[in-house]
Structure 1
Amino acid sequence: MEPNQEKILAKAQDRVIETLARNMDLYGITMSTGLLYGTLLFQDKSMTLDEMGQALGMSKTSMSTSVRTLLDMNMVDKIWKKGTRKDHYEVNLDWYQNFIDLFSTKWRHACEQNVMVLKKSLQELYALKESEEWSAEDLERVNLSIQRIENGLEYYQWLSRLIDSFESHDIFQFVPKQEKE
């Protein structure tokens, strides 16, 4: 490839890598981990931690932390290479599954935390409601809070079913993947 062509290719790849990293940041993944994912995406071979560190100008420790995050989210795979003792990593190229794994992990955790808080608050309000004599106005305020929390619990049940539809791939019945031409 000629130098000018190489420059255009590198610029296009760098733009995509930065955009991916910024998008992953929206889901609580550090920018450096997103940059690593993008860098691995455009490699034509697997990479070691040392190679990743050189490519990104970061420490092996930082690369190790980022790789562990990506492994936990199934966005990269650790592969065995004959003749070397170092671990090699390559990106999982299934963007649909990568999104599902990232989305499901983050949203399921948030749902569980929020449901736990709502249920605790609901129990406290039901106990409070039964424990005292209330004026009509105060009882209405407590009941309104109970109603809003119950609405929140209904929402989180719906969100949990949505997450289930991603994990089971049922979502593709409603929003099909783009057919390859």
Structure 2
Amino acid sequence: MDGKEQLDHVRERVIETIAKNMNLYGVTDSIGRLYGMLYFQNHPMTLDEMKEELGMSKTSMSTSIRHLLELKMVEKVWKKGTRKDLYKAEEDWYQTFTDFFTIKWRAGISMNISAMSKAITELEKIIIFEDLDEEVRSAAKTDIDKMNAALQYYEWLNQLVDSFESGKIFDFIPRDKN
């Protein structure tokens, strides 16, 4: 095996590991492989170049790039004299994690706060009925207390996400140990 083959082999092993790890976060292996491939490129690539490199359809490649753009893991770049869109991977893994984490967690937090707030409002309307069975009223009050405690947790989680977005998390856990 020559040096180029060894280099490609090492890169492929890392790309596969990246793809598997991203799968843990709900990102498909093919999107993970695309990010990994872009990460090792020393220049931005067009969709056609990516398609050729990975052997994926142009539609699949376009969908995958759009997903990576939404996660802020790749960015569109401009190059004088080139009409086609060019893309490159975000190489700052701290920033990639921060963006990925905050996007996913903000969506989850918002969805849970909304569902719990709506449920609390509905339960508060239920417990005011005079002819409501006392066991049901008690259960509804207990549920309200549990959801209020969960809402406090989501307030804390919002603060944690804020610390990632602002970079304050790195005051507590530095990016570099040097």
TM-score (normalizing by structure 2) = 0.92
Most deviating of 17-26 and 120-129: 17-26
Which amino acid in structure 2 is aligned with residue 4 of structure 1? D
Contact 1:27–1:106 (CA under 8 A) maintained in structure 2: no
Q: Secondary structure at the match of 1:77?
A: strand
What is the deviation of 1:76? 1.3
- 1:93-145 deviation digits (Å, cap 9, x = unpaired): 11111111111111101110111100111111111111134555443322221
- 1:71-111 deviation digits (Å, cap 9, x = unpaired): 22221121222332222111111111111111111110111
1:12 aligns with 2:10: yes
Structure 1, unpaired ranges of 5+: none
Q: What does 1:26-175 align with in structure 2 at a 5 Å threshold?
A: 26-134=24-132, 136-175=134-173
**Cα distance in 2, alignment partners of residues 4 and 37 from structure 1:** 26
- 1:46-77 deviation digits (Å, cap 9, x = unpaired): 11111100111001121111111212222112
Q: Secondary structure at the match of 1:58?
A: coil
Q: How many residues matched?
A: 178
Q: Secondary structure at the match of 1:90?
A: strand
Contact 1:53–1:59 (CA under 8 A) maintained in structure 2: yes
**Cα distance in 2, alignment partners of residues 132 and 109 from structure 1:** 38
- 1:28-62 deviation digits (Å, cap 9, x = unpaired): 22221111000000112211111100111001121
Structure 2, unpaired ranges of 5+: none
Most deviating of 47-56 and 60-69: 60-69
Which amino acid in structure 1 is aligned with residue 106 of structure 2? R
Identical-residue share of aligned pairs (%)? 48
Q: Secondary structure at the match of 1:78?
A: strand
Question: What is the RMSD of the two structures over their aligned residues, measured on CA atoms?
Answer: 1.7
